[in-house]
Amino acid sequence: MIRRGQIFLILTILSISFLVAITGVLLEIRRAEYLDPVPESDRLYYAWENSIDSIELMFDLIISENSQLNVATDITGLYNGRLNGYLTNLKNYLEERAISTQINLIGNVEYYNQSSSPQNHNVTMFAELFLSLSTPNFKLEQTLLLRVSYFVNFVGINTLVAYKNVNDHIIFQDKATILGSSGTIVDQDNGSYIITGGITGDILTFETVNFIMLVVINP
Amino acid sequence: MKKYTKSQLFLIEVIVSLSVLIIIVTALFSTQNFTPPISTTNLQESGENAIKLLVESGELFLYFEAAFNNYDLNNLTLLSESDPSKIPVMNTITSSIPSIANYKATAYRYNSTQLDWQQIDIVNYESDSSGFDVVDVEYYAPGYNGIYQEIIFRLFLWYEVNI
């Protein structure tokens, strides 16, 4: 028969071995190198960023084409076709890189070419898209609302300000070409242009570096 | 002196042993690693940043324009590395990657009549990875500055020494 003291001894040995075993396993886990469970995720995040970037560039191209023609609003069929054509190309490109892609245009592209007064002019393009990128064990998908606007307007009588608005994020437009002024124009390199010696009623054609054309009248 | 009963002694023993256990476990897990893990810059990320800089400054598109013209006019030759549009691209890439890394980049355009991607230029064409691990970052754009022309800029990066 085992004596009481012996049972305590055995239990102590058991508990120590459990402790050592558990500690050993935990320390091993702590020391082990972290392995990304989804090694594809970085590549997919980058592809996502690139896709959105290129869709925005496509918006710029469509705005550029239409502002150059200076066409009126509401030729939605044209814009839809142009954007859808490009989305197919983007899908093909991504699928060549082994990323399953689904891109749909939801509703219609809206395009406005408007000015609330002769001293300001803006063009806006708006679209809602569904974008889904996936690899066998990772998926990114979202509905995107993308609104790109280009604005140019007079502040006071001799300063012209130009900026781009992408989903309420402002990017000032410098290095633009301005034609039709009888005064001299100095580019401030921060999106504003100072016109000295301009005559009231000058029709100024403003063209950004990516060929988006806007028209304003000198006040 | 007060005499403890046996059960009281056991209780004290349990409390002591538990506290010793907790102290040991805390001590074991609170030790720092004495040798910090080797930190290396993620080349993939450096490449992505380099491309972001090139796109946002507009240097990439100026370079593509020059490369197109050169490819079409000069009978399919590479653009000179002292070309004023190529130097900023090379400088931006060099400054965004670690100093022990090297790069090479290729430029493609989509030919809509032949329906294939044409390689029109190479940046830093003298460099060679000579067997080191290479990562590549690609940038795809539908066009730029009002011209619809699909382009791909592909940047290859590698470390010049083994780490």
Reported ipTM: 0.75
Interface test with A, best of B9, B39, B40, B140 (most A CBs within 10 A): B140
CB-nearest partner of A61 from B58, B140, B148: B148
The pLDDT tens digits of the residues spanning A19-51 come to: 888 877 877 766 666 666 777 888 899 999 999
Residue B37 has pLDDT above 70, yes or no: no
**pLDDT class of A165 with cuts at 50, 70, 90:** very high
CB-nearest partner of A58 from B142, B145, B147: B142
pLDDT of residue B32: 60
The DSSP bridge pattern shows strands A203-207 and A192-196 to be unpaired
Percent of chain B with pLDDT over 90: 44
Q: How far apart are CA B143 and CA B102, in angstroms?
A: 28
Check CB contact under 8 Å for B142 and A46: no
Give me the count of residues in chain B.
Answer: 163
pLDDT of residue B102: 92
Q: How far apart are CA B117 and CA B74, in angstroms?
A: 19
Residue B25 has pLDDT above 70, yes or no: yes
Distance from CA of B142 to the nearest CA of A (A): 6
CB-nearest partner of A210 from B29, B145, B148: B145
The DSSP bridge pattern shows strands A159-166 and A120-135 to be unpaired
Partners of residue A86 in chain B, C-beta under 8 Å: 142
Residue A6 has pLDDT above 70, yes or no: yes
Check CB contact under 8 Å for B44 and A210: no
The pLDDT tens digits of the residues spanning A139-155 come to: 999 999 999 999 999 88
Q: How far apart are CA A60 and CA B146, in angstroms?
A: 7
- Residue in chain B closest to A32 (alpha carbons) equals B37
